[in-house]
Chains A and B, each alone.
Chain A
Amino acid sequence: MTDAVTVSAVGKTFAVANRGTVVALEDINLVVAPGEFVSLIGPSGCGKSTLLRLIADLDQPSTGTLSVFGKTARQARTDQDYGIAFQQAGLLAWRTVAENVELPLQLHRVAKPTRRARVAELLELVGLTDFADRYPDQLSGGMQQRVAIARSLAESPGLLLMDEPFGALDEMTRERMQNELVRIRHETGAAVVFVTHSIPEAVFLSDRVVVMSPRPGRIVDVVSVELGGERGDEVREASAFFARVSAVREALHGAPAKGVRGVENR
């Protein structure tokens, strides 16, 4: 089976007005297997979101190559091989919850009865069946984010790209959303690339945690989590969980020392 994502020797530089260029990513190599959950973690400016945007073909790499299910990122995007969710739910305020979830299907001309059935299924999956006819401004932040997740799953993608989708949520809502994501991921079998800056979140959700460092953005370590498939709240209390959290934390904090610059002491 082809890998969900293959990133080889990818670099990305941005031109910054009056200040030349900034190296956002340097020599990134990463393979995500089908059905695998991989988190990208690192401090602000480490390029984790940039890497996700490259996979999504929302930006293009400056060097190196990327493939998604064996195709170019561009082809994968036009073929709708991935679903995507951002930190902002990004719902359309003038559409109901059901119409928001329906959006990608509608854009891709899926027949109306099929659309309706799929939307019902998805709302069931994220527990929002009773809110189908509400408008986004009538929902809490957590509920809006669940709508966004349902929308990203609309076309049953084999790959889910998530850029800090729970970043704006309070801790309680966040943990509940994480539990739901674990369940949803198991029901759909999709591979996930998940950007976060929360260590416990990355460990709780992932099969592997990719630790990145800033300036230039690099992968400094990859921590395998191996906490088993179906995880519930009890995992959050397990010693194996804490051990992994420590491992990721050490990888993160060790990162600046490996760099040559050593000026930034954040």
Chain B
Amino acid sequence: MRGISTRTLVAPAVFGIAALMVWQLAVTVFNIQPFVLPGPINIGAQFEQVWPIIWAGTLVTGGNALIGFIMGAVAAILAAIIAALARPFDELTQPVVTVAAVIPLVALAPILYAMFGADAETSRQLIAALAVFVPVYLNTLRGLRQVKPVHRDLMRAYAATPWQATRTVTLPAALPFLFTGLRIASSLAVISALIAEYFGGPVDGLATSITSSAAGSNYTLAYAFVLGAILLGLAFYCVTLALEKLATRHAPLPPERPAVGR
């Protein structure tokens, strides 16, 4: 185990630090101007300097992403439960879900701003929710279909009520899939909330700050906001990844292992 954690933690960290050093060295040695590419040290200093502004922007963008994430996930889970219970619903909605999976959702942003007003965060939250819906829906539905025939027989042999069967077998088997869907969706929520800001709305999020500092030729500041956006995305990803690990720590057994004696 120790060897694995060294390889999975230390090695990427060393590589990352080395890359930053090469970047800084290149900027210093070749005397690259900050408007072309600022060095990591400058970006770090800028980040620290404007931290309160970045934090405020992170709260706005992160809040939009979180609200969208929750709305999208709740809607997706409910829809998946209905689809799992009623085949006609599933067949009815399949084309819609396929369409939703392929349309570039952020393209809806200008239209949604027109619908909900350019001074509200609603359209950003909705775009994040739409982006979250598809992966959570598809994964949850797949999870709900994981009940093994042997478990179905067992539940019938025990004369379990439908609700008991759902609670003891169907839901626990679906959970790992649901959490995988949430993990995939978490990054989409942050990305969608960020990109939606590029299309308009209130000037308060991380992405609007990136645009305005880049427009003002303050590239170091723009990069500092980019760093904030990266950290926000990482935070979403890490939290959902941790939840997924927790949910899958006793994952359903793969097709039962070839038996080995004690």
Contacts and interface: CB of A to CB of B under 8 A. Distances in A.
Contact of A170 (B153, B172, B250, B259): B259
Interface in B159-218: 159-160, 164, 168-169, 172, 175
A50 to B, nearest CB: 13
A160 to B, nearest CB: 12
A103 B168 contact: yes
Interface stretch (A20-28, A84-92, A111-119): A84-92
A104 B160 CA distance: 9
Given A90-B154, A93-B250, A93-B252, A141 B257 contact: yes
A136 interface: yes
Given A92-B172, A140-B259, A141-B260, A86 B159 contact: no
A142 interface: yes
What secondary structure prevails in chain B residues at the interface with A? loop
Contact of B262 (A84, A89, A94, A173): A173
B250 A88 contact: no
In the complex, which of the residues B156, B157, B251, B256 has the most CB atoms of chain A within 10 Å of its own CB atom? Answer: B157
A173 B175 CA distance: 34
B258 A141 contact: yes
Nearest to A90: B150
A122 to B, nearest CB: 16
Given A80-B159, A84-B157, A94 B258 contact: no
Contacts of B30: none
Contacts of A141: 256-261
Interface residues of B, number: 26
B15 interface: no
B158 to A, nearest CB: 5
B168 A107 contact: yes
A260 interface: no
Given A89-B256, A142-B261, A173-B261, A135 B159 contact: no
B250 A168 contact: no
A77 B157 contact: yes
A238 to B, nearest CB: 24
A169 interface: yes
Given A58-B156, A84-B157, A92-B169, A145 B253 contact: no
A211 interface: no
A147 B252 CA distance: 16
Contacts of B251: 93, 137
Contacts of B258: 141, 168
Contact of B168 (A80, A91, A92, A170): A92
B261 A172 contact: yes
Interface in A193-207: none
Nearest to A86: B150
Contact of B260 (A88, A91, A170): A170
Interface in B31-45: none
B245 interface: no
Contact of A58 (B157, B164, B260): B157
7 contacts: A58-B157, A78-B159, A80-B159, A86-B153, A91-B253, A141-B261, A168-B256
Given A108-B158, A141-B259, 16 more contacts: A56-B157, A58-B156, A77-B157, A77-B159, A86-B150, A90-B153, A92-B168, A94-B172, A94-B175, A103-B168, A135-B250, A142-B259, A143-B262, A168-B256, A170-B259, A173-B259
Name the 5 nearest CB pairs between A and B, nearest first.
Answer: A141-B259, A173-B261, A90-B150, A169-B259, A93-B252
